[in-house]
Amino acid sequence: MHDPREPYFLSLKRILHYVRGNLDYGLHLFSSSTTNLVAYSDADWAGCPTTRRSTSGYYVFFGNNLLSWSSKRQSTLSRSSAEAEYRAVAETCWLRNLLRELHTPLSSATLVYCDNVSAVYLSCNPVQHQRTKHIEIDIHFVTDLVVAGQVRVLHVPSRYQYADIFTKGLPLALFKEFRSSLSVRCSSALTAEEC
């Protein structure tokens, strides 16, 4: 940071307070008989007040285990919320190709859940429109996978969009629910009351 100010310092203190209070939490892994990928992707739109870039967030389960997750600022500006969400969908699809290159068979099409209806529609509609030409590469990448039956982009109601944990502040109860959905739990050495 070039010019840290008090709001940044307060944010840092809040993050450190959270980390200190949650040292007993960790990612739990389970044995799994399935080899399918399920992803949730989300994006805010122009969420950065300085640059107006969007933040993408996603997580991907391989069977019953969290395999990959990310929350990062998009490298380009998005002209709409659908575009921001669609870029997040495209980011989740690369993992399928990586597993294929590692000779890891997948038992079914990758399911990608997105709460933006327009982004879901774009994935199933191979026709390009003038308004979407600027995101053409992402659209072709995802659409090719959808047409090949390797990826299905499905709508999920915002209430169940667990990737929101990566893109926005949530009420405490919802944050805890979404954190639990990521298999992040208190270690078994402590009782539930202590966590």
With beta carbons less than 8 A apart as the criterion, state whether 96 and 109 touch: no
Residue 47: its pLDDT value, please?
Answer: 81
Residue 122: its pLDDT value, please?
Answer: 82
Residue 171: inside a domain: yes
Task: Share the mean pLDDT of the chain.
Answer: 85
Q: Residue 128: give its domain's CATH number.
A: 3.30.420.10
Domain count, the chain: 1
> Tokens in use for 89?
């969908």
Residue 125: its pLDDT value, please?
Answer: 77
Residue ranges in the chain whose pLDDT is less than 70: 1-2, 126-139, 188-195
3-state secondary structure 43-98: ECCCCCCCCCCCEEEEEEEECCEEEEEEEEECCCCCCCHHHHHHHHHHHHHHHHHH
CA angle 70-71-72, nearest 5°?
A: 115
pLDDT in tens, 112-125: 999 989 888 888 87
Domain limits for position 68: 30-186
Residue 195: inside a domain: no
Residue 12: inside a domain: no
Residue 139: its pLDDT value, please?
Answer: 66
Residue 152: inside a domain: yes
Residue 82: inside a domain: yes
The count of C-alpha atoms lying within 13 angstroms of the C-alpha of 148, restricted to the half-sphere facing its C-beta, is: 13
CA angle 75-61-155, nearest 5°?
A: 70
Residue 133: its pLDDT value, please?
Answer: 61
Residue 53: inside a domain: yes
Residue 17: inside a domain: no
Residue 127: inside a domain: yes
